[in-house]
Amino acid sequence: MIDLLVATTNAGKFAEVSAFLAPLPIRILSLRDLDDPPAVLEDGATFEANALKKARSLADFSGLLTLADDSGLEVDALGGAPGIFSARYCGVEGDDQENNRKLLRELAGVARADRGARFVCALALCAPRARAMADWTVQASCNGLINFELSGTQGFGYDPLFFYPPFKKTFGEIDRVTKATVSHRGLALKKLVAALPKLVDLAG
């Protein structure tokens, strides 16, 4: 069994990743398991660049195989915003309530047909340099619409505003297991699970 550091303090993200990786012989750790991990400045121009920077920095710091993600919401009517700034759209990192309020204000008066959006997730897997493993990345997305009001208490972030037409519900109204079958992070994690045995000796 090998150790895998999931580079997040977001409980929702950690739960989603852990659920996907549970069938594999992996001990999953979070940043909360490390002593004073460095804060990584997410200053990349893309989701992939930010995910890679986090994974590389924390793999070097911890000496562990490290998985990092960067994800966010791209809204067509806003030219792709909030994009890589999704978590701090309101100016405060991780304030879901204010981020959602700002998004609704920005889309006030925009017709339903013009409220197209997508969730995007980039994953990066990096090993300590001594292992000489090439960095691995993958990206996936999920298309939907921005609802006119918050609906549902499941999930986190923009989930209560992200309406997924095939289910006729927001992600906030869908349980985590069902959401994972279609979500941006779920699709990216499926690719990770398929690739991981080829990238790493899971027997340790």
Sheet of strand 116-126: strand arrangement: 26-30, 2-6, 65-75, 116-126, 136-146, 162-164, 169-170
Task: Report the DSSP beta bridge partners of residue 4.
Answer: 28, 65
Before 166, cis peptide (omega within 30)?
Answer: no
Instruction: Give the position of tokens 């996907």.
Output: 20
Annotated catalytic residue: which of 33, 35, 70, 159?
70
DSSP for residue 196: H
Neighbours of 149 (CB within 10 A): 9
Structure tokens at 3: 């150790």
Q: Name every residue whose Cβ is closer than 8 Å to that of residue 113 and which is 6 or more positions away in sequence.
A: none
Distance CA 104, CA 23 (A): 39
Active site residue 69: no
End-to-end CA distance of the chain: 5
* Cα 86 → chain centroid: 11
Q: Which residues are catalytic?
A: 70
